[in-house]
Amino acid sequence: MEVIGWAGTTLVIVAYCPQIHHLWAERCAWGISPLTWLIWLVASILLLTYSLLRSDTLFVIVQSINILAIVATILLVRRSNRICPYHLGVTRKNSGQ
CA distance 70 to 82: 20
28 interacts with Zn ion by CB under 5 A: yes
Segment contacting Zn ion (CB under 5 A): 37-45, 47-55, 57-65, 81-89? 81-89
Q: Is the dihedral of CA 10, 11, 17, 19 positive or negative?
A: negative
At residue 28, φ and ψ (nearest 5 deg) are -115, 120
84 interacts with Zn ion by CB under 5 A: yes
At residue 82, φ and ψ (nearest 5 deg) are -155, 165
Segment contacting Zn ion (CB under 5 A): 12-20, 29-37, 47-55, 66-74? 29-37
CA distance 72 to 78: 10
DSSP state of 82: B
Binding mask 35-64 for Zn ion (x = CB under 5 A): ------------------------------
Nearer to Zn ion, 57 or 91 (CB): 91
Q: Applying CB under 5 A, which residues contact Zn ion?
A: 28, 30, 84, 87
